[in-house]
């Protein structure tokens, strides 16, 4: 049997990791500035994480949600403390897409409506409802296309209010920062107006913090930069150091009904051990603050590099594809936009400089480093990027 060939793969085989470093099967060391799509929040193979998962595996790996699991209650307390949402409830599942599916379902239950308002450039997952609110028709099959979804422009509050005035919107779903869409940050003012408009319309506001949450931006959730509280928050990637997990934070305005949501594997004992360890490490090592401080340093260093590029060219020079156009983001969720395609830059960073990065679209390098990234790591990357460019 062969694997179903849906991934474009780099010819690198990681076999070991520690902190911000990965080693492949040939012994080559890499600096990881992508964290496996923002998953590795506390670094690879953190000793406390390894110990917690190993210890739990020796006790009990799994049982279903038909029995009490105090580890779930412990995680809920820790997430509430870290996020400031102590009065919200936690529903546990297995992925970001599944978290968004449950959030959309819960919103529809709550309002009795079915149409959803989403934003152009959005990515919310690949399952049926999540992909329907994802702004990419290429990954949406006819089976997924029956959902009633309307897409509007980011930061366009007038279009939002116009759709809400029709009275049939179950939910508005928005990312704290659009990741796949190109590190697009909603304006803080727009987020405040969006919260006000959805509340006035009696519509559920869902914040997708799957990629932008769990401390990545220098606050626990990216929407907290705008000082708002949504009705539902979804999370996943940074929660458990690579163990499959997802979560939905639910406002106390929602009343649970037995059987309305459910999952076999969600909140299992191993996932809880992993997630509790990650939560403890984030708190004890103050990684949210580190993400902000090192992220600001990283952006500043890239801006200096961009200015140096501009200083070297004369006014008559044409724009180079290797020229940095803009750097944007918050904390350790950063996009470096170039004037041309970045595929070759990314390949050279990986195979010549041994640095993992990601992309958004064709012209952006996307950086989603572990929250334990240091300024020394940043200096290594900047030197490598400068040499590649």
pLDDT of residue 315: 59
Q: In the structure encoding, which two tokens stand for residue 350, read together?
A: 């990986």
What does pTM read for this prediction?
0.97
- Please tell me the total number of residues recorded for the chain in this structure: 389
**DSSP string of 223-283, one letter each residue:** GGGGT---SEEEE-TTSSTTS--EEEEE-TTSPP-TTSS--SSTT-HHHHHHHHHHHHHHH
Q: What is the pLDDT of residues 303-358, one digit of tens each?
A: 999 999 988 876 556 778 899 999 999 999 999 999 999 999 999 999 999 999 99
pLDDT of residue 98: 98
Does residue 370 register a pLDDT over 70? yes
Q: Could you give the C-alpha distances from 335 to 200, 278, 330, 366, in angstroms and in order?
A: 34, 25, 9, 5
Q: Are strands 358-360 and 364-367 parallel, antiparallel or unpaired?
A: antiparallel
Q: What is the pLDDT of residues 73-115, one digit of tens each?
A: 999 999 999 999 999 999 999 999 999 999 999 999 999 999 9
Average pLDDT score over residue span 358-367 = 96
Q: Are strands 204-208 and 169-175 parallel, antiparallel or unpaired?
A: parallel
pLDDT of residue 20: 98
Q: What is the pLDDT of residues 167-219, one digit of tens each?
A: 999 999 999 999 999 999 999 999 999 999 999 999 999 999 999 999 999 99
Task: Evaluate whether 224 touches 192 at the Cβ level (below 8 Å).
Answer: no
Full set of structural domains in the chain with CATH: 14-44+296-312+319-388 (3.90.1150.10), 48-284 (3.40.640.10)
Q: How far apart are CA 114 and CA 85, in angstroms?
A: 27
pLDDT of residue 259: 94
Q: What is the mean pLDDT of the chain?
A: 96
Does residue 118 register a pLDDT over 90? yes
Task: Evaluate whether 135 touches 123 at the Cβ level (below 8 Å).
Answer: yes
- Pick the range with the lowest mean pLDDT from 32-41, 136-145, 203-212, 367-376: 136-145
Task: Evaluate whether 63 touches 69 at the Cβ level (below 8 Å).
Answer: yes
pLDDT of residue 351: 98
DSSP state of 317: P
């Amino acid at each position: 049997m062969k694997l179903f060939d849906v991934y474009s793969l780099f010819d690198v085989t990681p076999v070991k990791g520690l902190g911000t470093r990965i080693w492949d099967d040939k012994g080559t060391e890499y600096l990881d500035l992508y964290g496996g799509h923002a998953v590795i929040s506390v670094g690879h193979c953190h000793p406390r994480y390894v110990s917690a998962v190993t210890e739990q595996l020796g006790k009990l790996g799994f049982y279903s949600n038909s029995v009490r699991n105090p580890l779930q209650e412990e995680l809920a307390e820790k997430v509430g403390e870290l996020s400031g949402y102590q009065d919200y409830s936690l529903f546990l599942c297995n992925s970001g897409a599944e978290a968004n599916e449950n959030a959309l379902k819960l919103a529809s239950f709550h309002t009795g409506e079915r149409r959803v308002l989403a934003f152009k450039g959005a990515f919310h997952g690949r399952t049926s409802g999540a992909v329907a609110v994802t702004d990419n028709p290429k990954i949406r099959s006819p089976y997924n296309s029956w959902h009633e979804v309307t897409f509007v422009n980011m930061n366009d509050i007038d279009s939002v209010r116009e759709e809400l005035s029709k009275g049939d919107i179950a939910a508005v779903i928005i990312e704290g920062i659009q990741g796949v869409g190109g590190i697009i940050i909603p304006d803080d003012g727009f987020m405040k107006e969006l919260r006000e408009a959805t509340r006035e319309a009696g519509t559920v506001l869902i914040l997708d913090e799957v990629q932008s949450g769990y401390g990545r931006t220098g606050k626990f959730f990216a929407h907290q930069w705008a000082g708002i509280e949504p009705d539902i928050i979804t999370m996943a990637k940074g929660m458990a150091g690579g163990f499959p997990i997802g979560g939905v934070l639910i406002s106390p305005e929602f009343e649970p009904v037995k059987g309305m949501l459910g999952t076999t594997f969600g909140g299992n004992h191993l996932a809880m051990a992993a997630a509790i360890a990650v939560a403890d490490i984030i708190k004890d090592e103050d990684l949210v603050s580190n993400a902000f401080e090192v992220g600001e340093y990283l952006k500043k260093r890239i801006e200096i590099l961009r200015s140096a590029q501009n200083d070297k060219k004369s006014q008559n020079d044409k724009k180079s594809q290797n020229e940095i156009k803009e750097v944007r983001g918050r904390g350790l969720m950063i996009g470096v936009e170039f004037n041309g395609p970045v595929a070759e830059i990314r390949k050279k960073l990986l195979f010549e400089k041994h640095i993992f990065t990601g992309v958004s679209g064709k012209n952006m390098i996307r950086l989603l480093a572990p929250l334990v990234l240091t300024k020394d790591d940043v200096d290594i990357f900047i030197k490598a990027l400068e040499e590649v460019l």
